[in-house]
Amino acid sequence: MPELPEVEVVRRGLLNHLPGRTITGLFTDGKRLRLPVPEKELRARLTGARIIDVRRRAKYLLIDFDNGELLILHLGMTGILGLFSRKAEIAPHDHVCWNLDNGYDLRFNDVRRFGSVRLIGPEQIATLEQTVFKDTGPEPFSENFNGSYLYRKAHKKQQPIKNFIMDGRVVAGVGNIYANESLFNAAIRPTRKASAVSEKRYGQLVNKIREVLTTAIECGGSTISDFIDTSGARGYFQIHFKVYARKDQPCPTCGTLIRHRKLGGRASFFCPSCQR
């Protein structure tokens, strides 16, 4: 599943090409995604509209138009957004294609169809945080996300800290890979109870989360079989993995063998010596 860095890489790729472009037409294959594709609304409200910005909130891409409309895209588990010449053949699972005024298409391909396409009108944009994103925590790079915030949210939480920071209601977009790596860098064992971590150590964890995400974004995201960025190049953050998917391999810090266990159904990797 594309995580925050992968979505941010897509955003940056699209930002180089979409602003200033006008939608001239639309194609859909009629198949339902996680939500029904609002074909009539997309065609009526976006045809002739000019793209002015491409933003991200959590794992969602937000495309702003000059008529006040907002397109919200979620890649789901296998979603891919790419720019293709209109002459290029429509591929299997290309469910929505927006024709652009420069002869290219913005195509949304999703094999499993867990992604979504939503269109938000100008009158709804001011209340997005209370509606669409009402259950979404702060961005990991925002001022609101800090050690004090996490310490307060963790009060009386008995769940493992890894599950806690992966909860999108606590912080947006810290997925499994990056939770593993951040906890290792902060020397915190993933099984530790969230309420048993001090405010100071939460402050250190926030810094490590930001460092890991920043590196992943700079590297183009993780290599995931279903993720390809808008230039067609796969990410290579996996070369920086210190614990993720390294079961029984030596810890890069102390040499102790990395251990593995399942937490909340997700693979967790840690060094029993470095992480307490």
Instruction: List, by residue number, the catalytic residues.
Output: 2-3, 59, 266
Check if the beta carbon of residue 69 is closer than 8 Å to that of residue 119.
yes
Tokens of 179: 């939770």
Q: Alpha carbon of 272 to those of 1, 194, 248, 255: distances in Å? A: 28, 18, 11, 11
What lies within 8 Å, CB to CB, of 214 at 6+ separation is none
Cα angle, residue 128 at apex, residues 202 and 27 outer, rounded to 5°: 115
Closest CA to 60 of 21, 3, 17, 98: 3
What lies within 8 Å, CB to CB, of 134 at 6+ separation is none
Q: Where do the DSSP E strands lie in the chain?
A: 23-28, 51-57, 60-65, 70-74, 79-85, 94-100, 104-110, 116-120, 259-263, 266-270
Residues in the chain: 276
Tokens of 73: 């895209």
Q: Alpha carbon of 78 to those of 43, 112, 220, 226, 261: distances in Å? A: 25, 6, 17, 5, 25
Check if the beta carbon of residue 113 is closer than 8 Å to that of residue 76.
yes
**Any bridge partners for residue 1, and if so which?**
none
